[in-house]
């Protein structure tokens, strides 16, 4: 039987990122914690960037999804620790890739040698459409602070990469 906390985490996994609906907030790694205290649930949300324009939408969506699971639902924006792209789950990285976004380069334990090439002086990203590394950075400033725009010379597709932070 599922615990109440597990049910809340499962519900949070149904809340999509407002800017990239292919990934949920749990897989994106912006849910830092869930705290239960009687009939009160507090969710700690880590913004990807200070001033992220989607934070209030995320806060609202989380509160709305958890409505009815507790008498009181509080969604707290936290800067207790910085969000990093390492918090994105493997499933989240695959969802990003499947929706046309190059996932951020992994820099923690278990990094593949090929991934390290993406941290070179000249930024290169793996194309989410054809898998080519024959890509160039077109604009370091994508539609949001957490994304950059690349172009693949092989399949000729533009794409966004979630920045490594």
Domain spans in the chain, listed from the N-terminal domain onward: 4-77, 92-162
Provide long-range contacts, Cβ within 8 A and 24+ apart, for 17-23.
17/54, 17/58, 18/54, 18/57, 18/58, 18/61, 19/54, 19/143, 19/144, 20/96, 20/99, 20/101, 22/95, 22/96, 22/98, 22/99, 22/101, 23/88, 23/92, 23/95, 23/96, 23/99
**What is the pLDDT, as a whole number, of residue 158?**
96
Q: What percent of the chain has pLDDT over 70?
A: 90
For 79-94, write each residue's pLDDT tens digit: 999 999 999 999 999 9
pLDDT above 70 for 108: no
pLDDT in tens, 124-142: 899 999 999 999 999 998 8
pLDDT at 107 over 90: no
Residue 94: phi, psi to the nearest 5?
Answer: -65, -40
- pLDDT at residue number 30: 97
pLDDT in tens, 32-68: 999 999 999 999 999 998 888 899 999 999 999 999 9
Distance CA 105, CA 125 (A): 8
pLDDT in tens, 138-150: 999 888 888 899 9
Which CATH superfamily is 4-77 part of?
Fe-S cluster assembly (FSCA) (3.30.300.130)
Indicate if the pLDDT at residue 157 is higher than 90. yes
Residue 114 reports pLDDT greater than 90: no
């Amino acid at each position: 039987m599922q615990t109440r906390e597990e049910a809340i985490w499962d519900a949070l996994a149904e809340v999509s990122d407002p800017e990239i609906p292919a990934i949920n907030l749990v897989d994106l790694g912006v849910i830092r914690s869930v705290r239960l205290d009687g009939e009160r649930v507090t969710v700690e949300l880590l913004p990807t960037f200070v001033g992220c324009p989607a934070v209030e939408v995320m806060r609202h969506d989380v509160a709305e999804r958890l409505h009815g699971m507790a008498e009181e639902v509080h969604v707290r924006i936290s800067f207790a620790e910085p969000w990093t792209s390492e918090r994105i789950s493997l499933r989240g990285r695959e969802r990003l890739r499947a929706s046309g976004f190059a996932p951020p380069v992994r820099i923690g334990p278990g990094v593949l040698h090929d991934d390290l090439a993406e941290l070179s002086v000249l930024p290169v990203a793996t194309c989410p459409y054809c898998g080519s590394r024959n890509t160039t950075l077109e604009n370091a400033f994508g539609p949001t602070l957490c994304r950059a725009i690349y172009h693949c010379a092989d399949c000729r597709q533009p794409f966004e990469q979630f920045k490594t932070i």
